[in-house]
Each structure stands twice: as C-alpha cells, then as structure tokens.
Amino acid sequence: MTEINSDDCQVVVELVGVEKHFAGQKVLSGVNLRVCEGTTTVIVGGSGEGKSVILKHMLGLVKPDAGRVEIFGRDIATATARELNDVRRDFGVLFQNVALFDSMTIFDNVALPLRERTHDRPQQIAARVDELLQMMDLPGVGAKYPAQLSGGMQKRVGLARALALNPKIVFFDEPTTGLDVHKSNEIYRLFHHTQARVGYTAVIVSHDVPKIFKLSDHVALLSEGVIQGQLTPEEFQRSENPLIREFVETTMGPIYSSEREEAAL
Amino acid sequence: MKLYMLFLLGKIGDYTLYYLEHAGRMNVFLGQCLWRILTPPYRIFPVIQQINFIGARSIFVIFFTGGFTGMVLALQGYYTLRKFGSEGLLGSAVALSLLRELGPVMAALMVIGRAGSAMTAEIGIMRNTEQIDALECMAVDPLRYIMVPKFIAAILSMPLLTAIFDVVGIFGGYLVGGFMLGVNGGTYFQGMYQSVVWNDVEMGLIKSLVFGLLIVWISTAKGYFLHWERSGGFGAEGVSRTTTSSVVLASVTVLVWDYLLSAIML
C-alpha cells in the first residue's frame, strides 16, 4: 500500500509496526509510516483515532509497546535519554495547545531554545528573536505574555519558537484547530514561506481536509489503528481503499447540509 | 465470598504495585536531580531567582512565626518553671526548644506552605499544559532547567531561614520574659549561654538541611509526576488536589524525619 520507496528518497522518519495500548485499549495496531527528507506528510483521520499518539511516538514522549520508531535511522524507542536528546536537537514542534511558557514573555519564549542550546551572546539572541517575530508578522509583541495574545498569534509565536534553531524536521499537531478561515490561511501561508526558506521536513497531524491537501506531498489516513495508505493527495482522493474512500467522501463530499435543506429535498 | 477475597487481594496488590512504582519514580527523580546539581553546566542566575522566591520572600513570615513562637514559649515556660522556682532557666528552655526542634520544624512547615505548594502547582501546571513536553522536545532538560535551581535554592535557604527563626524567637522570648513577666534580662541570656552547646546548633542545622532537601524533593516531584497521580492529575482540580497532597506529604515527612534525626543525634 505504501508507495514510497526508500531508494528514491532520504528517509527521515520511519515507523515500523508500531503498536500501543492505553489502559487495555488498543490505539495503534501496527503503524507503518515513512517520511522523506524535505517533504510534507499529513496524517489525517477521525477524532480519537490516535493521530496525536503517532506524533508523540515520533517525539519520543511515548514509547511503543512493539515496533520501531526511527528518526534519521536511529530507533528512539530503545534510545538512551542522551541519544534521544541528540535526535531532538533537530526537532521543532508546534503543539496542539501551543504549550508556550505562560509565565514568560513572548520574547523569552522564543529566546529560550537559543539561550539553552547555543552560546550566542544576548545581542545575537535578541536580533534572532526579532527576526523570527518579524517573519511571523508579530512585531512589537515581545514584551507581552502568551495569555495577552489571540489564539492565532499564539500559534505564530509557537511556530517562531519551533523554528528558532532552524530544525531539520518540524512536527505540527493540529496547527489550525480552533482558528477561523482567515487565521488558518495565515498559518498555512507562514508554513509555506518558512518551509521554502528553511527547507525542513514536516509532519502535520490535521483534520482540516481538504485544505491541508494543498500543502502536502503525502497524505496518510489513520483508521482502525493502522495507516491505510500513504499517497499523494491526488492518489489519495482517487483511492479504491474503502476506508480512504469513505473518509474522502465524508470530508470532501457534500460538506454540510442543514436539516432544513435535507427536508426541502 | 471467594470472589470477594480475590477482589480484595487484587486491590491490595494493585495499590502496592502503584505505590512501589511511585516511590521508585520519585527516588530516581531525586537521584537524577542531585546528579545534575553536581555536573556542569552550572547556572547562577536562576539559582539566585529561586533563592529570592524560596528564601528571601519567606523572611517576613519566618520573622512573624519565629517571634510569636518564642513569645509563647516564654509565656508557657515561665509559668511552669515558676512552680519549681527556676525562672532563671527560662532563657535556656526557650533557646534549646527553638534550636533543636521548633526552629527547624516550624520554619520547614512555613516554607512548605509558602514555597512548596507554589512549586508543586507551578510545575503541575507546566506538566498539564505540555510545557514540560515542549522543553523535552526542544532538547532542553526539564530537570536541569526547572528543578536544579529550586533544589540548590531550597537547600541553601532552609538553614538560613531556620537561623533567622531561632534568633527572632529567642528575642521574642526575651521580650515576653524580660518586659512582661519580669525575668531579669541578664539571667535570661546567661542561662542560655551556659546551657546551649555547639551540638544543639549543629543538630538544628543538619535538620534544616535535610528538611530543605525533603521539601523541595516532594514539592517538585509531585508536580512533575502529576500525570501519574492515582487520583487523576487532570485539569485545575488535578493540580489543586496534587498540591494539597504534596503539602500534606511534605509536612508529615518533615515531622517523621524530625523524630528520626532527633533519635539518631541525641
């Protein structure tokens, strides 16, 4: 089903037979996924299917019950804390609820990875933070606290923080959930812009279908605990797989029909 | 009946396993934090910030509680000692009680209430809102970044706060004994001078160091392992419940260790 060969790309993330139980309930039952360097892979699926759980496996926050989670060829399921830390140096993460440090200013939030992981002088860090906030169209918010910003602005600060150290791979957990169309488009525009500039590999968990298809090189549907196929957006929409087909039809067919419309028919 | 017995046994086993696991986790956490205190990189500024929060900003409450503890000790002690005609021993009675027992214990309880609860809540909320996960994913070690400054600050602050408590308490006792009850000031301090030896001071010092470590350990670990709490560490209620249980556990542990240390050192 998976139609990506390791021969024609540099594999960055590879999940092989990943299984996970939570309190006796099987969430993932043998997930296989492969992400190539420089590409954007979107994981879609219904709520509660375990999309975020897959992401947490890739981040090393959750260990699989069985299977391998390889990042740059290293299995992080069995890695020591130090090895895991080394792998994470190339990560950027935008969490679902952004997870900004709420008792720090926006400036300190974005500066934190720079302060902790580089030996840059304060002036250099300040310049970099300004540059990042400028890139996210957020000039002049440095002195504010996360709670003083709107949801969309918080997401952009989160993106600035995730990109502070020019990561090789960036994970997005529901980057546009809870934002209106305008704000979502803004996030997508920034995503495009920054990926073109930094050239990172992206893994996005989203259910903003079909809009998210425009950004993606590959779409993977998680259903019934396994990846139902990792295909290009065009292939995905034409797939014969009944589960994918059902997903495409429910999300992209007649998107919404009110009860009144139905009654009129 | 047989089923009920099995159910009971299962429950007991379940609880035992949970608490063993939790104890193991907390001990590993302590070891990891202590190891990180000793290994570079060392950071001064965050430690100073935490000393300000745990130590300096506790001085006011320590001043008050210390003063009133000394005063009530003098009041109670005076009426008891007078029965035996030995009011002259008031100074040594107040000083010894404060230095050996009340100083370290009361100061520790005050710090638990003021700083320990705040630490649990702060770290618990960071855990709940994925801020700790975010740190980990940035390859920033949360133990080194959050816990180490708190550990160093608490271990340094506790003996100093205890010393302040003792001194203020002794003068509080003098205030009541000397000015209200008419004990001669010279006698008060002379009795103290004769009966207090270095061992008493040392005992208080060691106790306060141990209490400092216990407080910061329990307070931070409770917040850090919020998601493992058996009662459910979810949401605002999870944080409040965990903070409560952290304060209770820290207070009880301090009192138990107070007894143990006294038994060893006396």
pLDDT mean values, one per 10 residues, chain A (265 residues): 58 90 86 91 86 90 90 88 88 89 93 91 93 89 91 91 91 87 88 88 87 87 88 85 84 59 57
CA A182 – CA A186 distance, rounded (Å): 6
- The pTM assigned to this predicted structure is 0.88
- What confidence tens digit (pLDDT) does each residue in B226-239 have? 988 877 667 888 89
| Eight-state DSSP code of residue A253 | S
How far A69 CA sits from the closest chain B CA (Å)? Answer: 15
Q: What are phi and psi of B221, to 5 degrees?
A: -65, -40
CA B21 – CA A175 distance, rounded (Å): 36
AA identity, residue B33: C
- The domain segmentation of chain A, as residue ranges, is 8-39+49-90+211-265
CA B107 – CA B25 distance, rounded (Å): 28
Mutate to test the interface with A, among B29, B33, B49, B138 (most CBs of A within 10 A): B138
Sign of torsion, CA B157 B211 B110 B94?
negative
- Cβ <8 Å between B139 and A102: no
- What confidence tens digit (pLDDT) does each residue in B159-182 have? 999 999 999 999 999 999 989 998
CA A129 – CA A107 distance, rounded (Å): 7
Mutate to test the interface with B, among A71, A87, A93, A94 (most CBs of B within 10 A): A93
ipTM of this complex:
0.84
- Cβ <8 Å between B133 and A99: yes
| Eight-state DSSP code of residue B42 | P
CA B214 – CA B33 distance, rounded (Å): 13
CA A129 – CA A118 distance, rounded (Å): 13
Chain A residues near residue B137 by CB distance under 8 angstroms:
59-61, 88, 91, 93
Chain A residues near residue B134 by CB distance under 8 angstroms:
93, 95, 99, 101
Buried b (16+ CB within 10 A) or exposed e, A192-211: eebbeeeebbbbbbbbbbee
How far B262 CA sits from the closest chain A CA (Å)? Answer: 40
Nearest to A117 among B122, B136, B140 (CB): B140
**pLDDT confidence of residue A240:** 83
Strands (DSSP E) contained in A23-72 are 25-36, 40-44, 66-71
Q: Which fold has domain A8-39+49-90+211-265?
A: Rossmann fold (3.40.50)
CA-nearest of B199, B183, B215, B209 to B73 is B183
**pLDDT confidence of residue B233:** 67
- Cβ <8 Å between A93 and B138: yes
How far A213 CA sits from the closest chain B CA (Å)? Answer: 27
**pLDDT confidence of residue A253:** 65
Nearest to A116 among B130, B133, B145 (CB): B145
- What confidence tens digit (pLDDT) does each residue in B90-122 have? 999 999 999 999 999 999 999 999 999 999 999
Task: Give me the helices (H) in chain B, please.
Answer: 2-38, 45-50, 59-83, 90-97, 103-111, 117-128, 131-137, 142, 148-174, 185-195, 198-224, 235-265
**pLDDT confidence of residue A255:** 45
| Token pair recorded at residue B75 | 């009041």
- Cβ <8 Å between B131 and A102: yes
pLDDT at B14 over 70: yes
- Cβ <8 Å between B145 and A99: no
Chain B residues near residue A157 by CB distance under 8 angstroms:
none
Nearest to A99 among B129, B139, B145 (CB): B129
**Burial bucket for residue B214 (CB in 10 Å: 0-12, 13-18, 19+):** buried
